[in-house]
A and B are shown apart, each in its own frame.
Chain A
Amino acid sequence: MNLRAKAMSLFLLGLIRALTGAQARWQGCPPKAEQRIYFANHQSHADLVLMWAALPSELRSITRPIAAKDYWTKTPFKQWITTAVFNAIYVDRTKTTDQDPLEPLIDALESGDSIILFPEGTRGNQEEPQPFKSGLYNLAQKFPNVVLVPAWINNVQRVMPKGEVVPVPILCSVTFGAPLALEAGEDRGSFLARARQAVMALRDS
Chain B
Amino acid sequence: MSSFLRNLTPSQQVGLLFVMVFGLLIAASIWALVISLRDDGENEIRSQDIRELSSLLNTSWVMCTVFWLAWASGETVATMLFAIVAFFALREFITLSPTRHGDHRSLVLAFFVVLPVQFWLVITKRFDLVTVFIPVYVFLAIPVVSALANDPQRFLERNAKLQWGIMVCVYGISHVPALLLLGFPNYSGKNAFLVFFLVFVVQTGMLVQHLANRKWPRQATAPQVSQSFNWTSWLIGLGVGGFVGGLMSGLTPFKPAQAVAMALIACIAGSLGHLVMKALKRDRGITNWGTEGKSVTGASGLLDRVDALCFAAPVFFHSVRWYFGL
Select the stretch in B43-51, B59-67, B256-264, B292-300 that faces chain A.
B292-300
Query: Does chain B have a CB within 8 A of A178?
Result: no
Residue in B108, B112, B296 with the greatest tally of chain A CB atoms within 10 Å: B296
CA separation between A138 and B95, bound complex, in Å? 37
Tally of chain B residues near chain A (CB < 8 A): 19
A171 with B104, Cβ < 8 A, contacts A155-B95, A158-B99, A166-B112 known: no
Within 14-45 of A, Cβ neighbours of B (below 8 Å) are at 19, 21, 23, 25
- Least Cβ–Cβ distance between A124 and chain B, in angstroms: 14
A171 with B95, Cβ < 8 A, contacts A23-B298, A154-B297, A155-B297 known: yes
Query: Does chain A have a CB within 8 A of B307?
Result: no
B298 touches A169 (CB 8 A): no
A175 with B296, Cβ < 8 A, contacts A155-B95, A158-B99, A161-B101 known: yes
B99 touches A154 (CB 8 A): no
Which residues of chain A have C-beta atoms less than 8 A from B94's C-beta?
Answer: 168-170
Q: Which 5 A-B pairs have the closest CB atoms?
A: A23-B298, A171-B95, A168-B107, A169-B91, A173-B298
A173 touches B296 (CB 8 A): yes
Q: Is the interface of A mostly helix, strand, loop or mixed?
A: loop
Query: Does chain B have a CB within 8 A of A172?
Result: yes
B108 touches A168 (CB 8 A): yes
A166 with B95, Cβ < 8 A, contacts A21-B298, A173-B296, A173-B298 known: no
CA separation between A158 and B296, bound complex, in Å? 14
Which residues of chain A have C-beta atoms less than 8 A from B104's C-beta?
Answer: 161, 164, 168
Within 74-109 of B, Cβ neighbours of A (below 8 Å) are at 87, 90-92, 94-95, 99, 101, 104, 107-108
Which residues of chain B have C-beta atoms less than 8 A from A172's C-beta?
Answer: 297-298
A171 with B112, Cβ < 8 A, contacts A158-B99, A164-B104 known: no
CA separation between A154 and B300, bound complex, in Å? 16
- Residue in A closest to B94 when the chains form the complex, CB atoms: A170
A154 touches B112 (CB 8 A): no
Residue in A154, A169, A170, A175 with the greatest tally of chain B CB atoms within 10 Å: A169
Query: Does chain A have a CB within 8 A of B111?
Result: yes
B299 touches A169 (CB 8 A): no
Tally of chain A residues near chain B (CB < 8 A): 21
Task: Show the binding face of A for B, using Cβ within 8 Å.
Answer: 19, 21, 23, 25, 154-155, 158, 161-162, 164, 166, 168-173, 175, 203-205
Which residues of chain B have C-beta atoms less than 8 A from A25's C-beta?
Answer: 296, 298
A sample of 12 inter-chain contacts (CB < 8 A) reads A21-B297, A21-B299, A154-B296, A154-B297, A161-B104, A168-B107, A168-B111, A169-B87, A170-B91, A171-B298, A173-B298, A175-B296
CA separation between A25 and B300, bound complex, in Å? 13
CA separation between A175 and B87, bound complex, in Å? 25
- A-B pairs with CB below 8 Å: how many? 50
- Residue in A closest to B92 when the chains form the complex, CB atoms: A171
CA separation between A153 and B90, bound complex, in Å? 21
The residue that B299 contacts in the complex, of A161, A164, A166, A171, with Cβ under 8 A, is A171
CA separation between A161 and B299, bound complex, in Å? 21
Mask, B272-313, CB within 8 Å of A = 1, is 000000000000000000000100111110000000000000
Which residues of chain B have C-beta atoms less than 8 A from A155's C-beta?
Answer: 95, 297
- Residue in B closest to A54 when the chains form the complex, CB atoms: B298
Which residues of chain A have C-beta atoms less than 8 A from B298's C-beta?
Answer: 21, 23, 25, 171-173
Which residues of chain A have C-beta atoms less than 8 A from B111's C-beta?
Answer: 168-169
CA separation between A164 and B293, bound complex, in Å? 30
- Residue in A closest to B115 when the chains form the complex, CB atoms: A169
Which residues of chain A have C-beta atoms less than 8 A from B92's C-beta?
Answer: 171
A171 with B91, Cβ < 8 A, contacts A21-B298, A154-B296 known: yes
In the complex, given contacts A170-B94, A170-B99, A173-B296, what are 19 additional A-B residue pairs having Cβ atoms less than 8 angstroms apart? A21-B298, A21-B299, A21-B300, A23-B298, A154-B296, A154-B297, A155-B95, A161-B104, A162-B101, A166-B108, A168-B94, A169-B87, A169-B94, A169-B111, A171-B95, A171-B297, A172-B298, A173-B298, A175-B296
Which residues of chain A have C-beta atoms less than 8 A from B297's C-beta?
Answer: 21, 154-155, 171-173
CA separation between A175 and B296, bound complex, in Å? 8
Which residues of chain B have C-beta atoms less than 8 A from A175's C-beta?
Answer: 296
Which residues of chain B have C-beta atoms less than 8 A from A173's C-beta?
Answer: 296-298
- Residue in A closest to B111 when the chains form the complex, CB atoms: A169
CA separation between A172 and B296, bound complex, in Å? 8
CA separation between A170 and B165, bound complex, in Å? 13
- Least Cβ–Cβ distance between A202 and chain B, in angstroms: 9
Residue in B90, B95, B112, B300 with the greatest tally of chain A CB atoms within 10 Å: B95
CA separation between A170 and B298, bound complex, in Å? 10
CA separation between A18 and B296, bound complex, in Å? 17
